[in-house]
């Protein structure tokens, strides 16, 4: 893959989207991981550091301090303004106002939805748009929270598989330590993407490429990934509308 051309294409995409939205720049949620770091680098290359704002939103007691340090390092290395907001108080206030219970997946999904709200609050107040950090691997299998980390305005790396994001990140100068860090959505202590999915990104991407080509296989991992792609289709589409115009 010609990474120079890929970088130029994504930079043009960012510039065109921001200009067409008549916004003054972008807001990015910085997690300290490879995806958000890569998007931050690309946005700064496209727009300049004055038009990029980073939000670092850890959950105290869950988010590793290393991730916070890495997110700060990326922001400072790029020379962008950033803000750190711990989400614990917001999370606890919501739970107390709801039913007070901490229910597994509902709780896990609440965290990225809180971060989405914070991203949009700052984007709206600054007349900016929210840059998404999802990659093609995550999008295809629905490995994101609907109206959480999936709630963004545009996706600069959304056509790159995770293994390709690693390579692009190295190419544009993202620190190697971050590139080699085990990917994690940070939903609970010790969580890793590959551990939760039960498959490596290398295996996942090979299967996803095969699925895009229309291949069919009977092995367990292929079947599992194909089921994920089909089951999460609703996450990649706008909400369906009941058609009644023909009755009126």
Domains of the chain in start order, with CATH, are: 3-191 (3.40.50.620)
Question: How far, in Å, are 70, 74, 86, 181, 182 from residue 177 at the CA level?
Answer: 9, 12, 24, 6, 10
How far apart CA 248 and CA 243 sit, in angstroms, is 11
pLDDT in tens, 84-94: 999 999 999 99
pLDDT in tens, 144-203: 999 999 999 999 999 999 999 999 999 999 999 999 988 776 666 766 778 878 899 999
Q: Which of 158, 150, 167 is nearest to 202 (CA)?
A: 167
SS3 for 154-170 is ECCCCCCCHHHHHHHHH
Q: Which of 34, 70, 28 is nearest to 185 (CA)?
A: 34
pLDDT in tens, 23-38: 999 999 999 999 999 9
Using the predicted structure, report yes or no on whether residue 121 has a pLDDT greater than 70: yes
Helix pair 162-172, 201-212: axis angle to 10 deg: 110
pLDDT in tens, 74-85: 999 999 999 999
Contact present, 42 and 12 (Cβ < 8 Å): no
Burial 178-192 (b: 16+ CB within 10 A, else e): bbebebbbbbeeeee
């Amino acid at each position: 893959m010609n990474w120079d051309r890929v970088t130029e294409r994504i930079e043009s995409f960012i510039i065109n989207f921001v200009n067409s939205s008549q916004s003054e720049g972008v807001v990015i949620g910085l997690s300290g991981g490879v995806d958000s770091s890569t998007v931050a680098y690309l946005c700064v290359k496209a727009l300049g550091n004055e038009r990029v704002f980073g939000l670092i939103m850890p959950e105290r007691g869950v988010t590793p301090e290393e991730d916070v340090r890495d997110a700060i390092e990326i922001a400072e290395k790029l020379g962008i303004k950033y803000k750190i907001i711990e989400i614990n108080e917001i999370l606890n206030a919501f739970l107390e106002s709801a039913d007070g219970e901490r229910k597994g997946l509902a709780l896990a999904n609440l965290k990225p939805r809180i971060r989405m709200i914070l991203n949009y609050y700052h984007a709206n107040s600054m007349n900016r748009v929210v840059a998404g950090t999802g990659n093609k691997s995550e999008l295809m299998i629905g490995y994101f929270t609907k109206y959480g980390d999936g709630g963004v305005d545009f996706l600069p790396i959304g056509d790159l598989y995770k293994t390709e994001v690693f390579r692009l990140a190295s190419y544009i100068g993202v620190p190697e330590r971050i590139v080699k860090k085990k990917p994690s959505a940070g939903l609970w202590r010790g969580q890793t993407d590959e551990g939760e999915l039960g498959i490596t990104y290398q295996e996942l991407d090979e299967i996803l490429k095969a699925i895009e080509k229309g291949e069919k296989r009977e092995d367990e991992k292929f079947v599992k990934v194909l089921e994920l792609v089909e089951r999460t289709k609703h996450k990649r589409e706008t909400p369906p509308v009941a058609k009644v115009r023909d009755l009126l």
